Copies of this chain bind each other. A is one copy, B any other.
Amino acid sequence: MSSMTHATAPITELRERRRILGPAYRLFYDQPVHLVRGEDVWLFDTAGKRYLDAYNNVPVVGHANPAVVEALARQASVLNTHTRYLSEGVVEYAERLQAHFPAALDTVMLTCTGSEANDLALRIAFEATGRRGIIVTRNAYHGVTQALADMSPSLRPVASHVRTIEAPCHLAGSPEQVADQFALLVDEAARDLARAGIPVAVLIVDTVFASDGIHIGYDEVLSRAAAQVRQHGGIFIADEVQGGFSRIGRHWWAFERDNVIPDMVSLGKPMGNGHPMAGLVVQRSLVEAFGKNCRYFNTFGGNTVSAAVGLAVLNELERMEMPAHVARVGEVMADRLLHLAKTVPCIGAVRGQGLYWGVDIRDPGGDSARNGLLAQAISNGLRREGILIGVSGHQGDALKIRPPLTFQTEHVDILVSALARQCQAVLPAVS
């Protein structure tokens, strides 16, 4: 790897990087981290400094997981080809994956990215319903294709066939009241679309409402909303790119905390532990409608290597009994974060479950313009201490914690102790 020193390397590299990759690529941190190695929950930079990874949700069974790497290397050395020839791998993988879903979600289609999965879900929904109206939450993010950017208000204003509704995390009241209000918003949006002559085809939600600020309650938000959109003749897509594969603990999929069976479930990020694979689990009747008029072929989707990698990831998740493990570690995380919120002045709400957490940073003096500045300072302070987290939220005022799921309680201790120190340290530092 690189033998350049920490002090001079970044400047040249940043210039070269910006020259060749252009301005649409952004980096994390004031002083970007230059990583060269990963192992389980640890990352290492060019200077040999070790970081606890409390941010990356893709390497779900740990960075450079040996079983996954071995499956990748073995299959790539034997055969890498597409789904138009027979191969056991893709069928076995699809069956193993489907076994973790309710029986009604009986068909698996494979893509390379979560964006491709959501985009395909849209195409199927449009074909099956003969409609084009879409309902999303106010700050939703569903992917980078043209069609998805048009319905991702976190990226840009939505197109004319899209309606946005407030996410549950911004609705007040008891769980029942929040579910009531959210269903009512779906109802109103569907009526509005119908009035505009664009009847609703789809309600799609990220099942952990990540970009809206995180909502993971054991409530009826999802089931009530799904029932509502179905009453209007639309279908319900659960976007599990963020919430899937045990992220919130106890269940494999975040939608399972509620009594709902989605019409389609889209999967992405952790599916290949970093290998580009994603997919869609769908109720058969919808694919039949789509398959009547459309064929679907994805050159790399479900190729023999992706199938082998996906299978290795499933094996690891099952071996580690991941839903139970995440629930266990997540409880400790919840206790520690909620306790911390009571003991330091700069933490507002703490929202999350399992290993997906958002921590709002609030200026103790009540100057909300300083919240984002404080969050940045805490994130940079943690980075200096050797801990990587993310910053998100409308005003960049929320810490985002979503580590590899192999995170243990000892890692929770390291993270929360450092967070406590940084919350104390940051107050004078930015005044």
Contact = CB atoms under 8 A, between A and B. Distances in A.
B144 A120 contact: yes
A288 interface: yes
Contacts of A302: 21
A348 interface: no
Contact of A38 (B80, B155, B273): B80
What secondary structure prevails in chain A residues at the interface with B?
A: mixed
A296 B21 CA distance: 11
A86 B35 contact: yes
A293 B274 CA distance: 28
A241 B301 CA distance: 16
Given A32-B85, A81-B35, A112-B113, A24 B291 contact: yes
Contact of A24 (B33, B82, B84, B295): B295
A344 interface: no
A91 interface: yes
A398 interface: no
B22 A84 contact: no
Nearest to A126: B146
| Copies of this protein chain in the complex | 2
A122 B146 contact: yes
B20 A108 contact: yes
Interface stretch (A56-64, A187-195, A205-213, A314-322): A56-64
Interface in A107-126: 107-109, 112-116, 119-120, 122-123, 126
B69 A77 contact: yes
Interface of A: 1-2, 10, 13-14, 16-17, 19-28, 32-38, 43, 56, 58-59, 63-64, 66, 69, 72-73, 76-88, 90-91, 94-95, 98, 106-109, 112-116, 119-120, 122-123, 126, 144-147, 149, 155-156, 268-269, 273-277, 282, 284, 287-288, 290-303, 305-306
23 contacts: A2-B88, A14-B86, A20-B106, A21-B91, A22-B107, A22-B291, A26-B297, A27-B84, A35-B79, A35-B85, A35-B86, A37-B78, A38-B78, A63-B81, A76-B274, A112-B116, A113-B299, A115-B298, A119-B146, A120-B144, A144-B296, A144-B297, A155-B294
Given A21-B107, A112-B300, 19 more contacts: A13-B88, A20-B108, A24-B109, A24-B295, A28-B85, A34-B86, A35-B87, A36-B79, A38-B78, A43-B79, A59-B81, A64-B78, A69-B76, A72-B73, A80-B274, A114-B299, A115-B116, A156-B293, A276-B276
